[in-house]
Amino acid sequence: MRTALYARVSTSGHGQTVEPQLLELREYCARRGWQIVGEYLDEGISGAKDSRPQLDRMMKDAIRRKLDAVIVWKFDRFARSVSHLLRALETFNALGIAFVSLSEQIDTTTPMGKMIFTVLGAVAELERSLIAERVRAGLRNARAKGKRLGRPRVAVDTARIAALRSQGLSWPAIARQMGLSVGTVYQAACNSS
């Protein structure tokens, strides 16, 4: 199994190093007979940041299907927020990439690990549903208060569109001249005829 190791420490140069994490991760791979194809190491970078140079590189390699598994020493080395962790796990699941967290003993290549992943996926789905419901409730509340939602309406001079069109101008040329999108120009012309 082509495996990526991800390790992170928040501060570098103060005695903190990723080596203890890497030692355990390498031993785990050796016991499982997994091939390490990359070590992605973010040193001196906070876990609160969703975007980190080596994490981003690893995710790109995952999307390019260069990995079969990702192993971390502990969840908090990988992601500090539950939402970031769940998004990453969903990406791995969609790509068929196994995920292992040594300290929490979660390994999605095992039946127990798959069950835990399913529970985490259900939590993520619940979170998305709750967010969607809050958004819908906010929109209903705004409408009830008489607020206009969406982009502001654009005043369109349909007579000018018709005049430019009769001169033989294309829809994109008319849109450029009027500072509007081609769709807006075309729809205004269709609605006026």
Digit-coded pLDDT (tens) for 42-96: 888 776 667 788 999 999 999 999 999 999 998 778 876 777 777 888 888 889 9
Joined together, the tokens standing for residue 60 give: 């790109």
User: Is the CATH number of domain 2-110 3.40.50.1390?
Assistant: yes
* pLDDT tens figures, 110-145: 888 778 777 876 776 787 788 889 989 988 998 899
Annotated catalytic residues are 10
Of 73, 69, 60, 57, which Cα lies nearest the Cα of 19? 73
Contact 69, 3 (CB under 8 A): yes
Q: Which helix (H) or strand (E) holds 98?
A: strand 98-101
Counting other chains too, the contacts that 161-170 makes at CB distance below 8 Å and 24 or more residues apart are 161/185, 161/188, 161/189, 161/192, 162/189, 162/192, 165/189
* pLDDT tens figures, 9-36: 887 666 678 898 999 999 999 999 999 9
* pLDDT, averaged across the chain: 86
pTM, 2 dp: 0.61
Domain ranges, ordered by start, for the chain: 2-110, 158-192
